[in-house]
Amino acid sequence: MEEAAEWYAHLISGEEHEDDKARWEAWLATSPDHRQAWRYVEAVSQRVLAPLRDTADPRLTANNLHAANVRTSRRRRTLTNLALLAGSGLLGWAVWRHTPLDGFVVALAADHRTDTGEIREIALPDGSGVWLDTAGAFNEDYRPGLRRLRLVKGEILITTAPDAIRPFVVDTGQGRLRALGTRFTVRQEEGRSLLAVFHGAVEIRTGRSGKTGVVAAGRQACFTAEDIQPPVPADPAREAWSRGKLIALDLPLKDVIAELRRYTRRHIDVAPDVAERRVFGAFPLRDIDAALDLLAHAANLRVRRPLPWWATFEAAPNPDD
């Protein structure tokens, strides 16, 4: 087998000499074992290598394959490390709080999590309620003098229960929110947080610069660790997800699809020539297939599903053609 593998490496190296072919044939002829080994080389080449070689851009195929393997190895290391930590009882508050782990790892260890596509209500010990949106995660830290949530990933809708003694705060990657008797949503995005307030008011304190600002009911504001953007009227659609609905009020199709993608592992594609079409409507988040069909109907488009996990939006064929 080793010799067959070496022959293979030699023959595809582009450096073979004229008499190599004869030498290889002689090697094949010397023993049935050699011929058997070579049959394995051929089988691998035909069954596994040829389909990859015959793709439109083998180089891209190979690169993507390699990148996927690197990602898998990294996650595998994470998993084994996590298992070690969990085994020694260290995995908890202190670890995730002080280690700059990526969202994926932190989310694994969080107290409350949702799957992609899952929307769930969680009752907190003091009677406050939290809705956790798709692929989200947060930690709960209730102490005698403080009720604190740490949003790790995704979006939460909070209705706080009154408590005269313990303030209610939510920490995000960019700062701290202090609720002043309220109903509000917080969304953790890449490098920024989005706050929308529906009742009462919420105070923002940014993590790095320490700037503060109060957002009143009916307003929403974005903030980073440095800065708070001026509040704008709150989008009523911001809390619709807790009722399992995505509300689009005159949004470009590509934005609606970007939002839907958060709720499914499937691949949803949109043809560039229709990406800017404006969409009105309410779409069910718990049934993505139905949402896609409704969306196609609302935007007068066609959904093509070339594979079970793949949907593409494109212009509907004109019936007059």
Q: What is the DSSP letter of 166?
A: S
> Is residue 151 within 8 Å of 145, Cβ to Cβ?
no
Structure tokens at 220: 């929403």
What minimum distance in Å lies between the beta carbon of 41 and another protein?
A: 6
- CA neighbours within 13 Å on the CB side: how many for 257? 27
Nearer to another protein, 15 or 321 (CB): 15
**3-state DSSP assignment of residue 199:** strand
Max Cα–Cα distance, the chain, nearest Å? 91
Structure tokens at 96: 């995730």
Nearer to another protein, 73 or 209 (CB): 73
What minimum distance in Å lies between the beta carbon of 110 and another protein?
A: 9
Q: How far apart are CA 95 and CA 98, in angstroms?
A: 6
What minimum distance in Å lies between the beta carbon of 58 and another protein?
A: 5
Place of tokens 């009143």: 216
What minimum distance in Å lies between the beta carbon of 90 and another protein?
A: 16
What minimum distance in Å lies between the beta carbon of 194 and another protein?
A: 22
What minimum distance in Å lies between the beta carbon of 299 and another protein?
A: 19
Q: How far apart are CA 255 and CA 278, in angstroms?
A: 10
Nearer to another protein, 56 or 94 (CB): 56
Residues that bind another protein (CB under 8 A): 1-2, 4-6, 8-10, 12-15, 37, 40-41, 43-45, 47-53, 55-62, 64-73, 75-76, 79-80, 82-83, 107-108, 113-116, 135, 265, 267, 269, 306-307, 309-310
Nearer to another protein, 5 or 29 (CB): 5
How many residues make up the chain in this entry? 321
Nearer to another protein, 145 or 308 (CB): 308
What minimum distance in Å lies between the beta carbon of 145 and another protein?
A: 30
Nearer to another protein, 55 or 209 (CB): 55
> Is residue 200 within 8 Å of 183, Cβ to Cβ?
yes
Nearer to another protein, 134 or 220 (CB): 134
What minimum distance in Å lies between the beta carbon of 18 and another protein?
A: 17
Nearer to another protein, 9 or 164 (CB): 9
The radius of gyration of the chain's CA atoms, rounded to the nearest angstrom, is 28
Q: Which residues 6+ apart lie within 8 Å of 96 measured at CB?
A: 105, 106, 109, 110, 139
Nearer to another protein, 2 or 102 (CB): 2
Q: How far apart are CA 154 and CA 170, in angstroms?
A: 13
Structure tokens at 122: 């969680």
> Is residue 238 within 8 Å of 249, Cβ to Cβ?
no
How far apart, in Å, are the Cα atoms of 196 and each of 131, 173, 189? 14, 17, 14
How far apart, in Å, are the Cα atoms of 297 and each of 52, 249, 290? 38, 15, 11
What minimum distance in Å lies between the beta carbon of 289 and another protein?
A: 16
